[in-house]
C-alpha cells in the first residue's frame, strides 16, 4: 500500500519566513546603497551649484571692500564654471565690468557688457545703483531681437454674416432662420522677425476648427437644424508693434491670412415635421460638404495682446478678430447634393465667416548684441 506523507505546516512557514527574511535583507541593502549613491550624487550637484553661487558672492564682497585686483584675478575663472546659473553669470559680468572700469581697462569692460547682454538681453541698468560711467558703457550697446519662435493655441467663435438667404419654402431674403455661435479651436507655430524699433513681421502656420449651429423653419410646422464644422490650414501674415520692452509689454498687430479648406461636415442634422396626427423626425449621419464650400478663404486680421516676461522667454495672451472677405459657399455646387433639399429641406445661404479668437502662447527670442558706435570717454 502506498503511504501518503504530509508535511508539517510549521516547517513550511519557517522555510518561507527564512526566504522572506533573506529577500528583505537583500532589498534593504540595495535600497541603502541606492540612497547613498543618490545622496552622494545630489550632494555633489548641490555643492557644485552652491560653489558657483558662492564664488559670485565672494567676488561681490571683494568688490564692495575695494579689493578690485583680487576680483579681476578670481572672477574670470569663476565665470568659466559650467555650474553657474544664467542669473548668477549675469551678476558676475556686472561685477567684473565695473571692476575693469575702475582699473581703466575699458575694452575688457566693454567685452563683459557684450557677454552680459548675450546672457540677459533685456538687462536694464538702474542709474540709482550704478555709476554714470557704467551707465554710459551699457548705453553703448543694445541687444536686438532677431526672431521670436513659439507656439500658441486657444478658442474661437464663428460669426456668420449672411449675404443672401435661401430657403426651400421662401427664396426671398426675409425668412425665419438663425446662426448660433459655437466654440471652435486653433493652434499655431509662430515666428516674428525683427524689422525696426519694436516692430516685427509675424508669420504663422495655423490649424483652425470653426463651428456654428443653424436652425430654420423652411416650411410650416417644420424645423430644420444642423451643426457645421470647417477645418482650415491657414497662414496669417501680420505686422506687430510692442509698446516698450518691460516685464509686461502690450502690443497690437494687423494684417491678413489665407486659408485652405481641408474638410467640412454637417452633422447633428435633424428635420422635424409636425404633421397631424404624428410628428416625423428625419435624421442622418454626418455628411461631407467640402465640395459645397470654396477651397480658399481670405481674412483681414486685427489683434491685441500682452507679453509677459518669463525668465528669458515670453508668455503671451492675445485676442484677435478676423474678418472674412468673401462668400465661403461654392455657388456652382450649391445643389450638388439633392439629399439636403429633398430629404432635409435645406439650402445653403451665401455667407461670410468672421472669427473672434482668444489664445495663449509661449515664445523664445534669439538676440544679437550690437554696438551703438559711440566712443567711450577713454581708451
Q: How far apart are CA 159 and CA 324, in angstroms?
A: 10
Which pLDDT band holds residue 82 (cuts at 50, 70, 90)?
confident
231-277 pLDDT, tens digit each: 999 999 999 999 987 889 999 999 999 999 999 999 999 888 887 77
Residue 39 pLDDT > 70, yes or no? no
φ, ψ at 333 (rounded to 5°): -115, 20
pLDDT in the model for residue 6: 39
Q: How far apart are CA 86 and CA 331, in angstroms?
A: 60
Looking at the chain, the number of H-run helices and the number of E-run strands are: 6, 11
Residue 108 pLDDT > 70, yes or no? yes
Which pLDDT band holds residue 336 (cuts at 50, 70, 90)?
confident
Residue 87 pLDDT > 60, yes or no? yes
pLDDT in the model for residue 18: 57
Mean pLDDT of 157-180: 80
Planar angle of CA 298, 186, 162, nearest 5 degrees: 45
Planar angle of CA 241, 245, 251, nearest 5 degrees: 30
Residue 373 pLDDT > 70, yes or no? no
Q: Give kind and range of the element (H or E) at residue 370.
A: strand 350-371
Amino acid at each position: 500500500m502506498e503511504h501518503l506523507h504530509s508535511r508539517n505546516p510549521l516547517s513550511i512557514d519557517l522555510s518561507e519566513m527564512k526566504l522572506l527574511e533573506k529577500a528583505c535583507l537583500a532589498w534593504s541593502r540595495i535600497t541603502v546603497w541606492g540612497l547613498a549613491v543618490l545622496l552622494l550624487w545630489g550632494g555633489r550637484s548641490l555643492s557644485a551649484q552652491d560653489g558657483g553661487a558662492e564664488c559670485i558672492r565672494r567676488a561681490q564682497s571683494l568688490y564692495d571692500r575695494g579689493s578690485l585686483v583680487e576680483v579681476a584675478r578670481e572672477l574670470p575663472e569663476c565665470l568659466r564654471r559650467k555650474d553657474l546659473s544664467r542669473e548668477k553669470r549675469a551678476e558676475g559680468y556686472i561685477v567684473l565690468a565695473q571692476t575693469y572700469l575702475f582699473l581703466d581697462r575699458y575694452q575688457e569692460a566693454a567685452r563683459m557688457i557684450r557677454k552680459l547682454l548675450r546672457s540677459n538681453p533685456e538687462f536694464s541698468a538702474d542709474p540709482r545703483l550704478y555709476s554714470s560711467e557704467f551707465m554710459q558703457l551699457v548705453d553703448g550697446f543694445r541687444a536686438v531681437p532677431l526672431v521670436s519662435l513659439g507656439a500658441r493655441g486657444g478658442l474661437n467663435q464663428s460669426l456668420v454674416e449672411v449675404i443672401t438667404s435661401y430657403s426651400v419654402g421662401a427664396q426671398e431674403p426675409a425668412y425665419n432662420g438663425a446662426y448660433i455661435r459655437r466654440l471652435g479651436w486653433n493652434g499655431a507655430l509662430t515666428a516674428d522677425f525683427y524689422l525696426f524699433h519694436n516692430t516685427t513681421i509675424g508669420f504663422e502656420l495655423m490649424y483652425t476648427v470653426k463651428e456654428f449651429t443653424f436652425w430654420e423653419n423652411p416650411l410650416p410646422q417644420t424645423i430644420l437644424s444642423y451643426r457645421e464644422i470647417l477645418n482650415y490650414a491657414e497662414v496669417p501674415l501680420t505686422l506687430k508693434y510692442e509698446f516698450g520692452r518691460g516685464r509686461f509689454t502690450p502690443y497690437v498687430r494687423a494684417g491678413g491670412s489665407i486659408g485652405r479648406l481641408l474638410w467640412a461636415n454637417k452633422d447633428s442634422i435633424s428635420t422635424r415635421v409636425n404633421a397631424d396626427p404624428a410628428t416625423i423626425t428625419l435624421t442622418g449621419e454626418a455628411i461631407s460638404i467640402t465640395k459645397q464650400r470654396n477651397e480658399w478663404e481670405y481674412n483681414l486680421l486685427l489683434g491685441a495682446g500682452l507679453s509677459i516676461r518669463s525668465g528669458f522667454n515670453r508668455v503671451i495672451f492675445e485676442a484677435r478678430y478676423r474678418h472674412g472677405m468673401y462668400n465661403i459657399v461654392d455657388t456652382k455646387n450649391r445643389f450638388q447634393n439633392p439629399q439636403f433639399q429633398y430629404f432635409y429641406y435645406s439650402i445653403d445661404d451665401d455667407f461670410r465667416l468672421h472669427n473672434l479668437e482668444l489664445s495663449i502662447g509661449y515664445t523664445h527670442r534669439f538676440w544679437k548684441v550690437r554696438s551703438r558706435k559711440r566712443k567711450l570717454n577713454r581708451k
